[in-house]
Amino acid sequence: MAEHRFALDGRVALVTGSGTGIGRSTARVLAAHGADVVLAARRTELLERTAADVEALGRQALVVPTDVTDADACEALVAAAIDGLGRLDVLVNNAGGAINRPPDRWSVADWHRIIDLNLASVWFLSRPAARHMLERGSGTIVNISSGASFLALPDVAPYGAAKAGMNSLTRSLAAAWTPGGVRVNAVACGAVRTEGYGESTKHQNLPDDAILGPGNAMNRVGDPEEIGHAVLFFASDASSYCSGQTLWVNGGPKAPATT
């Protein structure tokens, strides 16, 4: 059966930032392909909404409210996932966010907030997850990066730096853990219709469907579920020969105008 390599039956996935946007859609995609899902974010009410989506697909959902910028809380989250659902096969480091303002208007606190949320959290969660996966000799980690990691976007400079660091960390952790059976990859998102993206367009007085950054060949904003399916590829056996990769899902490069 052609679909079997995408099947996640019997596996447990942990998705951070799963109350909204890409995280919520990713949790639904993974559940639709057979995974039970641990849901983590700060706002319990939003996690409960995603849990209802997962359970409607016939899978188990475990809600664990967590501040992923706290290293001890991340250790506790991984332990709760294993205690609650018996194992951990897939970690999706999706929690993140940006602030839009020129470089000279960033405070030191702003810098640490963005770096901790988008980069430190990946370090805090990946290591305890990998310990469990390495003991079992298998597992996958998927980090949600951004096209900002490749581009020059002054108003989100610390965010772009954090995501570029995530890309590097993805490669380094893959080099460390792939020999033990744990693959680590990343999905770098282009313009995707999420709550955070809507805040960015509003900040610039643009329509909700405006394409921020360099235009893409499809001339549209992506849907969170399209990122969820890219995550599914890396989370499943469909990507069994991939590790240390960052896939940029951005609607395709747009050719320059010609006359």
Domain at 2-249: CATH code? 3.40.50.720
- Give pTM, 2 decimals: 0.93
Q: What is the largest CA-CA distance in the chain?
A: 63
- In 3-state terms, what secondary structure has residue 85? helix
**Runs of H (alpha helix) within 178-217:** 195-203
pLDDT tens-place string over residues 42-88: 999 999 999 999 999 999 999 999 999 999 999 999 999 999 999 99
pLDDT single digits (tens) 6-29: 999 999 999 999 999 999 999 999
Provide the pLDDT for residue 1: 45
Question: In the 3-class helix/strand/coil scheme, how is 35-67 assigned residue by residue?
Answer: CEEEEECCCHHHHHHHHHHHHHCCCCEEECCCC
Beta bridge partners of 146: 189
Give the catalytic positions in this structure.
159
pLDDT value of residue 152: 93
User: 151: which 2 tokens?
Assistant: 């581009």
Q: In what order do the strands lie in the sheet with 61-63?
A: 61-63, 36-40, 12-16, 90-93, 139-146, 182-189, 246-249
Enumerate the domain spans of the chain. Answer: 2-249
